[in-house]
Amino acid sequence: MSTVDLTNSVLKPNPQVDHRFVVARPGPEVAEFHQKLPGYHHTLLHDLPGIAEAIGVARAIVKDEATRLELPSFKMLGASWATFSALVEHTGIERNAWKTIDELARLLLPHAPLTLAAATDGNHGRAVARMARLLGLGALIYVPYDMALARMEAIKSEGAEVVVVEGYYDDAIALAADAASADTLVISDTSWEGYEDVPAKVIEGYATIFDEIDAQIDTDPTHVFTPLGVGALGAATVAHFHDADPRPQIIGVEPLEAACVQEALEVGEVITIESQFRTSMVGLNCGTASKIAYPALAAGLDWTVAISDHWSDEAMRLYADNGLVSGESGAACLGGLLALAGSDARETIGLNGSSTVLLIITESATDPDNYERVVGRSPKEV
């Protein structure tokens, strides 16, 4: 089936999809680890009949990650598990020789000083910095030059050193990779040649979202929308639903100006795309998909839809009308659904009055000024 051009968006079938491909799911040790962290609890799963009625589906169910482990996004799940795994590998400490985060920090004292480094458009870097603060480690976070001040200040509030690079997210990744040393561990959510173990653990960390959904949901979704930046959460989504029976259609959503996964699937391999990277969905503003995530994405995504900021803005406003706060990237899943539901593409993906749609809000309003410009009120007023 060919590309479907929509208003301010592009829907493409995944020509690489292969439901026979085995996508491994992590074991219970991931969720058990997260349960030891400060502030752990199941995030909420909302049933939103107003949105379902507006879109013309039976149910719209939203997993709300706007508050996760005392931070405003889901990223702490992947960053914490990857950090812990990297520290175990680096120091040789016993994986299960602690019950609280303070006990884990004490286990690391003989190995000090240690620093965690990461590149970020905001949420991943803050999560890595939070782990560093909890464990008494240093944090070195590389950010693009155009990062919103509120996001930068949030990272600094964790005690991290923030390095502003003269470029975009991909440039920050390159500099963070160069920071690796005997006492500096790079905790990246994307992979490159020779660097795969840590980003694989990031993907594993996101499994907790779906373990919780299994415990909360009372029906099988027919359509699952997942956001695509470098593809880590998308790969975790595929891993969870790939062998489900019945298996839902999995639709990946990314910015129209940074559709690196959609383009990679089109050519059959990871590529770096040319882009101006001007989307407000900064958490998805990536030019190169993660090589470690790509096999799962290629095997398990049924569709990708690249959307303009128009649709994420519409989604932010619709969420606010239903009492939920979502940032720009956090609203991407609903933005993709809105783009498809109002066009002939709804028939293409089998979206109808019997459909149950699962969405994820991945972040809160991490740029309050832009949120107020888009929604017309502050996050506190929603």
Indicate whether 214 pLDDT > 60: yes
Residue-level pLDDT at 288: 94
Residue-level pLDDT at 272: 94
CA distance 224 to 61: 10
* Mean per-residue pLDDT, 286-314: 97
β-partners of residue 181 are 184
| Cis upstream peptide for 246 (omega within 30°) | yes
Token reading at 367:
């740029």
Indicate whether 179 pLDDT > 70: yes
* Mean per-residue pLDDT, 329-334: 98
Is the torsion defined by CA of 370, 376, 377, 379 positive or negative? negative
Residue-level pLDDT at 6: 79
Other Cβ atoms less than 10 A from the Cβ of 96: the count is: 9
pLDDT band at residue 278 using 50, 70 and 90 as cut-offs:
confident
**Rounded (10°) angle between helices 368-375 and 309-321:** 80
Q: Which domains does the chain have, with CATH numbers?
A: 4-73+206-381 (3.40.50.1100), 95-202 (3.40.50.1100)
* Mean per-residue pLDDT, 258-269: 97
Q: What is the pTM of this model?
A: 0.96
Indicate whether 128 pLDDT > 80: yes
Indicate whether 221 pLDDT > 60: yes
pLDDT band at residue 276 using 50, 70 and 90 as cut-offs:
low
**Tens-digit pLDDT profile for residues 96-108:** 999 999 999 999 9
Residue-level pLDDT at 93: 97
pLDDT band at residue 277 using 50, 70 and 90 as cut-offs:
confident
